[in-house]
Amino acid sequence: MPILGIYLSAIGFLLGIFLDSRTLDALGMPLSMGFGMLMIRLDTWLSGTVVEIITVIQKFFPGYYLFDIVQKMILNQNFNNALLRFGLSSLMIVIPFVIIGIVQHQSPVSGGITND
């Protein structure tokens, strides 16, 4: 599971850059619960409309495919498709954060010294 650890560390690092310490303290538990819920596949033991909606949302996050990879490895099945989807969903999540970081880094800083 080191890939998932790297993924979550990258998200945590970027959140740490963009948010102040009070905001991170306040959001720590809800963010942990939210990311935890995105990694647990409810469709394996529950059914219904709400579970189907949650499953559609979960497919945008890597935890959904990580479950498939582990399950297929246990059953000695081919997991290449799930691994590809895991990588793509990881990129879909990390790339917007990187773009935001680049844009914020390149924006001019106001309040600097001017030459009048």
Give the pLDDT score at 81. Answer: 92
**Buried b / exposed e across 63-81, counting CB within 10 Å, b at 16+?**
bbbbbbbeebeeeeeebee
Q: How far, in Å, CA of 58 to CA of 64, rounded?
A: 6
Mean model confidence pLDDT for the chain: 80
DSSP string, 23-37: HHHHHHHHHHHHHHH
Claim: this prediction has a pTM higher than 0.75: no
- Phi first, then psi, for residue 114 (nearest 5°) are -110, 150
- CA distance linking residue 81 with residue 65, whole number of Å: 9
pLDDT of residue 108: 63
- pLDDT tens-digit series, residues 59-85: 888 888 888 888 889 999 999 998 999
